[in-house]
Amino acid sequence: MTKILINDVTLRDGMHALSHQYTVEQMVQIATQLDAAQVDLIEVSHGDGLNGNSVNYGFSRHTEAEYLTAVKGVLKHAKLAALLLPGIGTIDDMHMAKDCGVDTIRVATHCTEADISRQHIEAGRQLGLDVVGFLMMAHMIPAA
């Protein structure tokens, strides 16, 4: 039987609805419940991914390092993931995430620009992270 992997993005994509103002305590509380529910992968970062905490995309209440470290500290089952959009997040941001305990990096690009993710995917693999390529807006292009 094929195992289904559950990836929850509440602590990343959910940041948008709160203008990126989750507290560390809220992150920990939600992550603890997701972990207890046996969610496999919990994604944590600014809503626009690593290094999104900026004047361009909105400032978070805390740093990503604070969020990542706090959530990693309560996980017993789930692995910790973060999102990186090349052009917003950098390979240095990926190193920071790894240092904070991230297990999986999801590298997201617009579906027509997948080629710009190569160096980030390779860097994630070199760091020993599980790497996922994520093509955004794929529903907007015609099927081959």
Give 54-101 pLDDT, tens digit per residue: 888 989 999 999 999 999 999 999 999 999 999 999 999 999 999 999
Q: Which residue has the tokens 């992270």?
A: 129
Domain that includes residue 94, residue range: 7-136
Is the residue at 102 inside a domain? yes
Q: Going edge to edge, which strands form the sheet with 104-110?
A: 7-8, 41-43, 79-84, 104-110, 130-136
16 classed as catalytic? yes
| Mean pLDDT value across residues 37-55 | 95
Rounded percentage of the chain residues whose pLDDT exceeds 70: 100
- Out of 16, 46, 95, 110, pick the active-site residue: 16
pTM: 0.92
Is the residue at 143 inside a domain? no
Instruction: Judge whether residue 48 has pLDDT over 90.
Output: yes
Dihedrals phi, psi of 3, to nearest 5 degrees: -80, 135
The CATH number of residue 43's host domain is 3.20.20.70
133: Cα within 13 Å, side-chain hemisphere: 17
| Mean pLDDT value across residues 104-117 | 92
Q: Binning pLDDT at 50, 70 and 90, where does residue 143 land?
A: confident
